Chain A
Amino acid sequence: MSGLKTITLDQVDDLARGAAILGTGGGGDPYLGSLMLRQALHDGGEVRLIDVEELADDALAIPFGMMGAPTVMVEKMPNGSEMVAALELMQRHAGTPASAVMCAEIGGINALLPLVLGARASLPVVDGDGMGRAFPQLQMTTYNICGVPVSPMAMADEFSSTVIIEAERADEVERLGRNLVVSMGGSASICVYPMRGRDAKRSLVRGTLTLAYGLGRTIRVARRSAGDPFAALLEYLRSTPYYNQCRVLFTGKVADLVRQTQAGYAMGRVLIEGIGGDAGRRIDIQFQNEHLLAREGDRVLAIVPDLIAILDAATAEPITTEGLKYGQRVTVLGISAAPIMRSPEALAVFGPQAFGLDAPFTPIEQISY
């Protein structure tokens, strides 16, 4: 599929479902994001997507998202105009108007929010993001890896009260930001990693909005034609520029589930027992908000930053770590991350060691099955 130029009302659900797959178990439920996008489109906004090459080298592009607790977001949704307020503060700070909005994270709810801002601020959205999936921390981006500073970060609450944070290190920005989010009532709109077109071109995971839409659309079409959604997904992924190394890792039922909240993260592992062609085998998948590592015994099947998605075995509906239940029939997909996410610099920030895993990163295409 060539790059999408727009997202219309009838494409919102496909995009949201695809973003949930790329959330690899985390990233937050895209449902609220899809409602905000519906509202923005309903109010006459338009989403215009551009390829990063369309950005001038010195044009300002600003990634956008929301920070906070999902439990708060489901009650106190944003106003909409604070998104624009955060953007305006960032522009004032930079001394130039922004030429485009960007995504920081394509997995989960934050895939849709930049489109909401783009529609509200009448700015195009760059087709791509800084994670190529979902990750639990602000510094885990290709922007950071390529030397784009996370700071300044602009934040706004529903009153359009705004704050700007400047700090040397990404973890400092994150720490200060989290404290401010609390005084803002638990969730806030944020602009981070402001960058110029030339930096966007070298640090972006490209085409991921088109990818998310394509994934969601593929599932919908396969369901409607009563086809095999997994065969369709693999065929679609193989046609993409770098998510093309992919396979069904396993089909089975959830046989055990260990979950705990540690330092604000949903940590745990899920044990899956094979059914059908995989009967007699079992794998386990370890997660920290997102799935990190799939193993059969000691053998690694797929490992972060490559993507591990758990889908309903019948409908291919993506399942979050929160939504996992004993007895569910699931199909596990392994998908290659973009090359920019597999460099030694990238692996230092969001490779296996960054999550405390012992196993080294092995690209999915080099693992024999």
Chain B
Amino acid sequence: MLRIGVDVGGTNTDAVLMRGREVLATYKAPTTADVGGGIVAAIEQLLRQSSLPPAAIGVVMIGTTHFTNAFVEARHLCRVGVLRLGAPATLAIRPLIDWPAALKQAVHGHTEIIGGGFNYDGRPITPLSHDEVKRAAREFRARGVDVVAISSVFAPVNTDQELEVERILRDELPGVRVCMSSQIGRIGLIERENAAVMNAALQPMAERVIDSFRRALLDLGLRAPFYVSQNDGTLLEPDVVARYPVLTFASGPTNSMRGAALLSGMSDALVMDIGGTTTDVGALVQGFPRESSVAVDIGGVRTNFRMPDLLSIGLGGGSLVTAEQGKVRIGPQSVGYRISTEALVFGGNRLTTTDIAVAAGYADVGDRARVAHLDRKLVNAAVDEIHRLAEDCLDRMKTSAGDVPVVLVGGGSILIDRQPRGCSQLSIPANAGVANAVGAAIAQVSGLVDRVFSFEKLGRDASLNMAREEAVRQAVAAGADPATVVISEMDELAIQYLPGAAVRVRVKAIGDLALERAA
């Protein structure tokens, strides 16, 4: 079975052709405005390199930051109606209260807050009134909103009302799309609602983009199914992405880390991705990125997506090196993509970290003679500072004091010439430059449950079983081969101050794509 992984980033489009864990061909080119066309070019090139017909390809996986960028830049967004279920609770904070004005103006069509929602223990706050939903629908129709985002209090505990409202709206507002918060976010009404509204704003564009992907593959004569990778490094069916584009928001860094795991053969390690301007460090836990526990801002909007926990510092191959009173300073300013003309070794006149690595003798790019004049003391001090920055960044991402293995990827990895302190084993895998496309190509499918259970009512074992079964069911529904599904994460968090043993349980199940079905 041959797989193609394509990663459409803001700067580059990378692609790989893989058989199992083996990389057969790679591709890298600047990302074009026409994303579908970029994917076609990448796949055509891979097929040509390997002299394969399109029919040989079993599946195509696509990772993209397209939707993230569109939201942040407020491009192609549509007008959203927000329908919150929870009144009389929640009125003290109305939807979108702290959105940046420009985004709010681009997105906000109309808000209705009606009765509904649940308490933490599953009791309804108020019963849902169909008449109220229909009245809200009339308001949305009158204001001409394109999509309605539904957010209901404690929807992660009980999705019934969101589903019921969705059904009513489909009847009342034919042709208007509907997006449910429970399909996107976890506990935290404001953050989940924000995510639902972001998603709703992107939905029509996402449908067009997914459609263009589909057509692009058909134009190539590719009949293989395709999937899109989501934030946690697992796959979504295209139809799901068309409806829930925000689920792809953090897929870029996730794919890069997953690819690093495969290429290095390490499943528990820190991954250090050194680019031209920044170094990103993330942690792999059982082959998946450790997720951030704090709220993530996207374009100034607070969300609670499952995002990889990443630390970024201003160290890259293009970082500027300066010396003041004998003290060497690296970055955060960088010549970025202009490194190929502005660095000393490439004939420019800016002293960069790449020049230092060449002058020190451990990197071999550009013209070494152009850095021969550099003061040895400065070069040595800068080499030490580069490694100190890298070590510091690695150390911050560790969760315990012991040494850990480190996987080094990215074009700036030439800056590192020795095993960093605190690192037990340094791995610089082949094909590290296309790790993100590899990550897309090897992605699995998952199901996630994040819900409050009453252990007093159900018992701990029954509650956890229920959560596990639901997570597995979701993974299978998302396309996993049931025989391969395992529980990959399980957290229990007792809710403070409440008796009744209310516990928030989070379970994730993961399995291999059921390709025989897909093929």
Residues of A within 8 A of B (CB): 32, 35-36, 38-40, 42, 68-72, 74-81, 83, 116, 158-160, 178-179, 181-182, 185-186, 253, 255-256, 261, 264-266, 323, 325-329
Chain B residues, CB < 8 A from A80:
91-92
- The answer on a CB contact under 8 Å between A76 and B117 is yes
CA distance A76 to B117 in the complex (A): 9
- The answer on a CB contact under 8 Å between B89 and A77 is yes
- The answer on a CB contact under 8 Å between B496 and A39 is no
Taking the nearest CB of chain B, how far is it from the CB of A66, in angstroms?
Answer: 10
- The answer on a CB contact under 8 Å between A186 and B89 is no
Known: A69-B498, A75-B153, A255-B401. A35 touches B98 (CB 8 A): yes
User: CB within 8 A of A35: which of B93, B120, B294, B398?
Assistant: B93
B465 at the interface (CB under 8 A from A): no
- The answer on a CB contact under 8 Å between B92 and A79 is yes
CA distance A78 to B92 in the complex (A): 6
Chain A residues, CB < 8 A from B97:
35, 38-39, 42
Closest to B126 in A: A159
Chain A residues, CB < 8 A from B86:
76
- The answer on a CB contact under 8 Å between A253 and B90 is no
- The answer on a CB contact under 8 Å between A185 and B125 is yes
Given contacts A179-B499, A181-B497, A327-B399, 11 further A-B contacts (CB under 8 A): A71-B496, A72-B498, A75-B120, A76-B86, A76-B117, A77-B189, A81-B88, A185-B89, A185-B125, A327-B398, A328-B396
Q: Which of B92, B119, B495 has most A Cβ within 10 Å?
A: B92
Chain A residues, CB < 8 A from B395:
253, 327
Interface residues on B, range: 35 or more
Known: A69-B496, A261-B494, A326-B399. A79 touches B93 (CB 8 A): no
B123 at the interface (CB under 8 A from A): yes
Give 28 CB contacts A-B under 8 Å.
A32-B190, A35-B98, A39-B92, A71-B504, A72-B120, A72-B495, A72-B498, A74-B187, A76-B86, A76-B117, A76-B125, A76-B154, A77-B89, A77-B90, A77-B92, A78-B90, A79-B88, A158-B88, A158-B89, A181-B497, A182-B500, A185-B119, A185-B123, A186-B120, A261-B496, A264-B497, A265-B496, A327-B396
Chain B residues, CB < 8 A from A38:
97-98
Across the A-B interface, give the 6 residue pairs with the lowest CB-CB distance, nearest first: A80-B92, A158-B89, A185-B119, A327-B396, A69-B497, A35-B93
CA distance A265 to B496 in the complex (A): 7
Chain B residues, CB < 8 A from A69:
120, 495-498, 502
CA distance A325 to B123 in the complex (A): 35
Taking the nearest CB of chain B, how far is it from the CB of A316, in angstroms?
Answer: 17
Taking the nearest CB of chain A, how far is it from the CB of B504, in angstroms?
Answer: 6
Residues of B within 8 A of A (CB): 86-94, 97-98, 117, 119-120, 123, 125, 153-154, 187-190, 293-294, 395-401, 452, 493-500, 502, 504
CA distance A265 to B396 in the complex (A): 28
Chain A residues, CB < 8 A from B499:
179, 182
CA distance A158 to B90 in the complex (A): 8
Known: A158-B125, A323-B294. A264 touches B189 (CB 8 A): no
Chain B residues, CB < 8 A from A40:
92
A interface: dominant SS: mixed
Known: A255-B401, A326-B399, A329-B396. A76 touches B90 (CB 8 A): yes
Chain A residues, CB < 8 A from B90:
76-79, 158
Taking the nearest CB of chain A, how far is it from the CB of B375, in angstroms?
Answer: 27
CA distance A77 to B153 in the complex (A): 9
Taking the nearest CB of chain A, how far is it from the CB of B251, in angstroms?
Answer: 24
Chain B residues, CB < 8 A from A78:
89-92
CA distance A36 to B123 in the complex (A): 25
Chain B residues, CB < 8 A from A71:
120, 187, 452, 493, 495-496, 504
- The answer on a CB contact under 8 Å between A32 and B93 is yes
Closest to B392 in A: A329
CA distance A261 to B188 in the complex (A): 21
Chain A residues, CB < 8 A from B502:
69
- The answer on a CB contact under 8 Å between A76 and B497 is no
Chain A residues, CB < 8 A from B119:
76, 185-186
Q: Which of A39, A76, A325, A328 has most B Cβ within 10 Å?
A: A76
- The answer on a CB contact under 8 Å between A75 and B91 is no
- The answer on a CB contact under 8 Å between B92 and A75 is no
Taking the nearest CB of chain B, how far is it from the CB of A37, in angstroms?
Answer: 10
Taking the nearest CB of chain A, how far is it from the CB of B229, in angstroms?
Answer: 27
CA distance A328 to B498 in the complex (A): 30
Chain A residues, CB < 8 A from B153:
75-76
Chain B residues, CB < 8 A from A42:
97
Closest to B399 in A: A326
Known: A80-B92, A266-B496, A323-B294. A75 touches B401 (CB 8 A): no
Closest to A72 in B: B120
Q: Which of B97, B119, B399 has most A Cβ within 10 Å?
A: B119
CA distance A181 to B92 in the complex (A): 19
- The answer on a CB contact under 8 Å between B189 and A75 is yes
CA distance A264 to B497 in the complex (A): 5
